[in-house]
Amino acid sequence: MARPKHFYSFIIGTPERASIHSLPCYVGVLTIFALTCLYGIVILVDNILPTPLTVLDESRYPHAFIAERASWDLKNLTDIGPRVVGSYENEVLAVEYLTKTINSIMQESHPNQYLEQDIQIVTGSYYLSAKQGVINVYENVQNVVVKLHGKNGSSSVLVNAHFDSVPTSPGASDDGINVAVMLEILRIMSKLEDRPIHNVIFLFNGAEETPLQASHGFITQHKWAKDCKVVINMDSTGSGGKIILFQTGPKTPWLLKYYNGVPHPYGQVAGEELFQSGFLPSGTDFRIFRDFGKLVGLDMAFIKDGYRYHTKNDQFAYIPLGSYQHVGDNALFLIKSFSNAPELYEPVSTGEETVYFDILGLYMISYSNFIGTIVNSCTIVLSVAVFFYSIFSLKLENIVRGFLQVYQSFHSL
């Protein structure tokens, strides 16, 4: 019985001929090494945080975000303990701390600035569409709201974070850090000589975990809500690390034009697709502002070390100062940019969503879904073309010889 030729000979001919197409083993080693290095660079970049500024740096950077001072506010807030909606800790102690701190900021503000504070106690209900749908009814939830008046009083930027927590957690990252960041940004902007063009409304939200009640109460019933055009929402599903942009719009690519200028770009459209597809059984206040207030904006959150989320380990001690600096620098830049943006007079929707992602935290890439479809289609076509070119570039005689050898081998059995 004749011994069959090598199986692959029907494609490339004899094993001797096949050897001319093989690659040296060091090419494989170098490829693995390059991929390992690339993975290491990504991990390294993901863990590098900006250098935090302390109060000693304030004289050199008078209008910069001071991470150390923001951390003091978070320490005071988390020392209260878990801040459950309806509890004494949330409804009295947390509100007292916020109003006391805000009053101090207002007293130290620049004479050219005009700030108002309001405590909203609100009752309402709404239907939240989900897989099975939810009717949410709430009574006497609280919001602490501050309005930094701009030169044009007809449009406002809304900045939101929630100070309540789940019963099992002191809520340092979810969402105390962003509350502390908002207080520090309010300090900075209140001391500027020039007013922004548009108002900035700081919403310290007292009932997010229940879920999303206080944001609904604000956007549907508060006297300042009707002027809000853009929202910057900050939340957390982790502890520390960098804050990631994971939802934008809807259908407003000009928002990303401003985000592209932040000091520490960090974003990924995949998160937006997961949230809006309904695959993740979760949501943020951004959804309420978008669906009930028809606002456009940016949704950002901490995601690192998600195993601490909603547990007793979401503590002040686990958040490095660099995390405050990362979110603080980005949020301050965005608030200043949006509060002086001409687009706020009449936010324009293009009718098309946007693809976006950062490159190693250095800069953002963004383009329309239409461009994304073209790029993906071209990639598929080129991949198929390369495959068939590789097949048909082999000598026809080798292909014929291979089939004949396979036929003869089976025929001789």
Predicted local distance difference test score (pLDDT) of residue 397: 57
Residues ≥6 apart with Cβ < 8 Å to 351: 251
Predicted local distance difference test score (pLDDT) of residue 393: 66
pLDDT at 413 over 90: no
Asked which of 14-28, 73-87, 307-321, 346-360 is least confident by mean pLDDT, the reply is: 14-28
List the chain domain ranges. 63-361
The alpha helices in 244-284, defined as continuous H runs, are 254-259, 269-277
Residues 300, 327 contacting (CB under 8 angstroms) = yes
Q: How far apart are CA 369 and CA 276, in angstroms?
A: 15
Q: Which residue has the higher pLDDT, 378 or 399?
A: 378
Distances (CA, A) of 110 to 115, 183, 187, 195, 197: 10, 16, 10, 10, 16
Q: How far apart are CA 46 and CA 304, in angstroms?
A: 10
Architecture of the domain whose range is 63-361: 3-Layer(aba) Sandwich (3.40)
Q: Which residue has the higher pLDDT, 242 or 45?
A: 242
Which residue in the block uniquely carries the two structure tokens 């940019």? 337
Predicted local distance difference test score (pLDDT) of residue 369: 87
Predicted local distance difference test score (pLDDT) of residue 129: 79
123 DSSP 8-state letter: E
Predicted local distance difference test score (pLDDT) of residue 150: 98
Predicted local distance difference test score (pLDDT) of residue 65: 99
Q: How far apart are CA 114 and CA 195, in angstroms?
A: 9
Q: Average pLDDT of 365-370?
A: 89
pLDDT at 4 over 70: no
Predicted local distance difference test score (pLDDT) of residue 7: 43
Asked which of 20-24, 57-61, 89-93 is least confident by mean pLDDT, the reply is: 20-24
Taking only the tens place, the pLDDT of each residue in 238-286 is 999 999 999 998 989 999 999 999 999 999 998 887 777 666 667 899 9
Q: Position 267: which residue type?
A: G
Q: What percent of the chain has pLDDT over 90?
A: 72
Asked which of 19-28, 295-304, 309-318 is least confident by mean pLDDT, the reply is: 19-28
Asked which of 26-30, 37-41, 115-119 is least confident by mean pLDDT, the reply is: 26-30
Taking each helix axis as running N to C, give the angle between helix 321-338 and helix 177-190, from 0 to 180 degrees, rounded to the nearest 10: 50
Q: How far apart are CA 329 and CA 250, in angstroms?
A: 24
Q: Average pLDDT of 301-306?
A: 95
Q: How far apart are CA 225 and CA 238, in angstroms?
A: 29
Predicted local distance difference test score (pLDDT) of residue 274: 79
pLDDT at 403 over 70: no
Catalytic-residue membership of 208: yes
Average pLDDT, the chain: 90
Predicted local distance difference test score (pLDDT) of residue 8: 43
Residues 299, 247 contacting (CB under 8 angstroms) = yes
Taking only the tens place, the pLDDT of each residue in 169-217 is 999 999 999 999 999 999 999 999 999 999 999 999 999 999 999 999 9
Instruction: Return the structure tokens found at 131.
Output: 């897989």
Taking only the tens place, the pLDDT of each residue in 114-168 is 999 999 999 999 998 776 778 999 999 999 999 999 998 899 999 999 999 999 9
Predicted local distance difference test score (pLDDT) of residue 179: 99
Residue from 184, 208, 272, 353 carrying the catalytic annotation: 208
pLDDT band at 346 (very low <50, low <70, confident <90, very high): confident
